[in-house]
């Protein structure tokens, strides 16, 4: 049977993505393989343009959102399958066609949670967050390098970005007795890199905040305590309107803010948090939770007072921050999915 004829009877198509080549496996309604083909990335839309509408599973990864939008425009039902969900369906050793077959099998299962296709605006916002994260990492590397060079000359500086920023000009101006001219020039150049990175980070942050304040969903998210434009923008960029999750608990589990279960024989065994999902977004929620914990006087008006006060007495501060981040994740998902602002439920104080 030719590839062209085989494609017309395919009920489900699985696609394994690569940089330049995509591998396709087509299954009929009985699960038999009727299509096995590899094709260049740029020709995938033309290849499937005349194929009757079918379910297409594509392995979620680099540039798959663009391909998914192209195939959806042709009328196909396109779903992006995370590689971790497709792996259990791969038979025998790994190769590209077996990966495509595994994707085709996984996409048919109703329990498979697929990745929603991102819009261009979501991808733009996500790109800004990734650029900002990289710039912050570069700045941290520069600061650590300056500290190490000064420490080798017997000049430790108190931990904290602001202390080094304040003391560095005086060190370069007065400690020429232990700093050679070459080392002074090296540190000055690093300080220039630091200043340039600060400017880049500030510009990207301002752009993210402007986009967040101009988006209705982000403005609603920012009504939640501890959630600012950075977290709101990152959340909308990651999950859109949140319809990929059935409830807030699923979103918190996807972020990796729930304990790892190793339960068996009616024994519930919980370990550390799973740390699965979006690491960047999980870090932001942890930062938001720690900001709330710094101001106990505001717990009551945020409707966290009774719960946080009781939890603070029995939990380690890191565990408490994780528990609060989990609660914030569930609240923000509800706000996003229901399209409404956060309303604190403050109970009147008894006399």
Q: Which tens digit of pLDDT belongs to each residue from 294-305? A: 999 989 888 888
Q: What is the mean predicted confidence (pLDDT) over 141-148? A: 96
Residue closest to 229 by CA, chosen among 254, 206, 257 = 206
In whole angstroms, what is the distance from residue 182 CA to residue 105 CA? 63
pLDDT at position 82 is 93
For residues 329 and 250, is the Cβ–Cβ distance under 8 A? no
In whole angstroms, what is the distance from residue 120 CA to residue 129 CA? 14
Which whole-number Å values give the CA distances from 333 to 64, 221, 236, 253, 342, in the listed order?
Answer: 25, 9, 10, 12, 11
Residue 2 in this model has a pLDDT that exceeds 80: no
Residue closest to 122 by CA, chosen among 284, 234, 242 = 234
Higher pLDDT, 317 or 265: 317
- Residue 210: pLDDT band (50, 70, 90) is very high
pLDDT at position 101 is 96
- Residues 10-25 pLDDT 10s: 899 999 998 889 999 9
- Residues 318-347 pLDDT 10s: 999 999 999 999 999 999 999 999 988 755
Higher pLDDT, 55 or 264: 55
At 8, which helix (H) or strand (E)? helix 3-8
Q: What is the mean predicted confidence (pLDDT) over 42-71? A: 91
Helix%, strand%, coil% for the chain, nearest 5: 55, 10, 30
In whole angstroms, what is the distance from residue 193 CA to residue 187 CA? 10
Residue 4 in this model has a pLDDT that exceeds 50: no
Supply the mean pLDDT for the chain: 91
Helix (H, G, I), strand (E, B) or coil at 86: helix
Q: Which residue has the tokens 């800004």?
A: 128
pLDDT at position 328 is 96
pLDDT at position 348 is 52
Higher pLDDT, 212 or 276: 212
* C-alpha atoms less than 13 angstroms from C-alpha of 55 in its C-beta half-sphere: 18
Q: What is the mean predicted confidence (pLDDT) over 155-179? A: 91
Residue 248 in this model has a pLDDT that exceeds 80: yes
In whole angstroms, what is the distance from residue 217 CA to residue 171 CA? 47
Q: Which residue has the tokens 């979620």?
A: 60
Residue 140 in this model has a pLDDT that exceeds 80: yes
User: For the chain, how long is the longest CA-to-CA vector?
Assistant: 83
Asked if CATH classification 3.30.420.40 holds for the domain at 3-107, the reply, yes or no, is yes
Q: What is the mean predicted confidence (pLDDT) over 273-296? A: 93
Q: What is the mean predicted confidence (pLDDT) over 80-89? A: 93
Residue closest to 79 by CA, chosen among 89, 70, 68, 87 = 68
| CB neighbours of residue 250 within 10 Å | 16
């Amino acid at each position: 049977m030719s590839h062209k004829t085989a494609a017309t009877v395919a009920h489900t198509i699985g696609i394994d993505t690569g940089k330049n080549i995509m591998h396709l496996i087509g299954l009929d309604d009985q699960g038999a393989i009727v299509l096995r083909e590899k094709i260049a990335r740029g020709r995938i839309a033309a290849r499937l343009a005349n194929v009757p509408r079918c379910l297409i599973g594509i392995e979620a990864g680099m540039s798959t959102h663009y391909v998914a939008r192209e195939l959806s425009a042709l009328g196909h039902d396109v779903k992006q399958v995370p590689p971790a969900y497709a792996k259990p369906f791969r038979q025998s050793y790994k190769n590209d066609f077996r990966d495509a077959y595994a994707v085709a099998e996984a996409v048919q299962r109703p329990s498979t949670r697929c990745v929603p296709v991102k819009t261009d605006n979501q991808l733009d916002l996500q790109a800004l967050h990734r650029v900002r994260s990289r710039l912050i990492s570069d700045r941290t590397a520069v600061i650590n390098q300056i500290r190490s060079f000064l420490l080798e000359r017997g000049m430790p500086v108190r931990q904290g970005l602001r202390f080094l920023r304040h003391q560095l000009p005086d060190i370069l101006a007065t400690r020429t007795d232990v700093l050679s001219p070459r080392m002074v020039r090296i540190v000055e150049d690093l300080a220039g890199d630091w200043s340039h990175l600060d400017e880049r980070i500030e510009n990207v942050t301002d752009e993210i905040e402007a986009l967040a304040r101009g988006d209705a969903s982000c403005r609603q998210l920012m009504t939640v305590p501890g959630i600012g434009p950075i977290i709101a923008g990152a959340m909308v960029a990651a999950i859109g309107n949140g319809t990929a999750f059935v409830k807030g608990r699923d979103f918190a589990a996807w972020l990796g803010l729930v304990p790892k279960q190793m339960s068996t024989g009616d024994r519930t065994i919980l370990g550390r948090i799973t740390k699965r999902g979006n690491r960047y977004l999980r870090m932001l929620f942890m930062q938001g939770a720690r900001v709330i914990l710094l101001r106990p006087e505001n717990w009551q008006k945020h409707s966290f007072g009774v719960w946080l006060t009781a939890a603070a007495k029995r939990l380690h501060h890191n565990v408490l921050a994780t528990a609060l981040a989990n609660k914030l994740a569930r609240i923000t998902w509800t706000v996003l999915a229901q399209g409404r602002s956060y309303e604190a439920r403050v109970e009147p104080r008894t006399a």
